[in-house]
Amino acid sequence: MTDYEVLRVFCGPDGAHGNELGVVRDGAAVPGEADRLAVARELGFSETVFVDDAERGAIDIYTPSVRLPFAGHPCVGAAWLLGVDELVTAAGTVRARHDAEFTRIEARAGWAPGRTLKQYGSVAEVDALDVPQPGEWIYAWAWQDEQAGTVRARAFPGRGDGIDEDEATGAAALLLTAELGRGLTITQGLGSQLVTAVRSGGLIEVGGRVRRAR
């Protein structure tokens, strides 16, 4: 078995919840794309990161079924774990910053994989949703308080690879922030929290709390 660590990314204010992320620090131990995909499938997390150069922040991201040029929760988790100010992904260079509570990354909405952003009229409607059939990646959301910029969301990847619902999804939060043109505080899944902001030059910032899971 490949050595790996597990982080929880986008934890709630109490440090609970968050989306688990597998991190293989020694990416050289799993050099091929097919082998990396096999490891990601075996681990079964929504995403697994392979670190190719810790000093440069070079990473490679996989779901159990596909390689991703960019994804939000793997970038936030990797930036926190490696303590770097930037990451090198297949999509481009992702800037990162850290404070006592949050790790934040900046990326372009065009880097995010396609998502269907589906707005509902109330938080109760989002909470009551059943997991849809595979086929479409759906990010269901509703305003908790539009004036305050708080959102309730749930995410359904629809890939049919065992990840029926994503606990916290940075790329979808990035896309929603770009569409609405304003910073948001998003509560997703069972109680994960993501914070976003619109930055200059077409960049969107996505951040959250990271904890070690095991």
Q: What is the mean pLDDT of residues 64-91?
A: 96
Residue 2 predicted with pLDDT over 90:
no
Residue 9 predicted with pLDDT over 80:
yes
Please tell me the CATH code under which domain 5-106 is placed.
3.10.310.10
Give the predicted TM-score (pTM) of the model: 0.95
Residue 85 predicted with pLDDT over 70:
yes
pLDDT tens for each residue of 32-71:
999 999 999 999 999 999 999 999 999 999 999 999 999 9
149 contacts 176 by C-beta, under 8 angstroms: no
Closest CA to 48 of 30, 56, 86: 30
The token pair at 73 is: 């929760």
pLDDT tens for each residue of 145-204:
999 999 999 999 988 888 899 999 999 999 999 999 999 999 999 999 999 999 999 999
Identity at 70, one-letter amino acid code? F
Q: Which residue has the tokens 């969107």?
A: 204
What is the rounded average pLDDT for all residues in the chain? 95
Angle at 19 between CA 71 and CA 208, to 5 degrees: 75
Residue 113 predicted with pLDDT over 90:
no
Start and end residues for every CATH 3.10.310.10 domain found in the chain: 5-106, 111-203
Residue 214 predicted with pLDDT over 70:
no
HSE, side-chain direction, 13 A CA sphere, residue 19: 33
3-state SS, residue 152: strand
Question: What does the alpha-carbon distance between residue 98 and residue 100 come to, in Å, rounded to a whole number?
Answer: 7
59 contacts 88 by C-beta, under 8 angstroms: yes
Cβ-based neighbour number of residue 25 at 10 Å:
16
DSSP 8-class letter at 144:
E
- % of the chain at pLDDT higher than 70: 100
Residue 1 predicted with pLDDT over 80:
no
Report the chain's C-alpha Rg in angstroms: 16
Q: Which fold has domain 111-203?
A: Diaminopimelate Epimerase; Chain A, domain 1 (3.10.310)
DSSP 8-class letter at 23:
E
Residue 93's pLDDT band (boundaries 50, 70, 90)? very high
Q: What confidence score (pLDDT) does residue 134 get?
A: 87
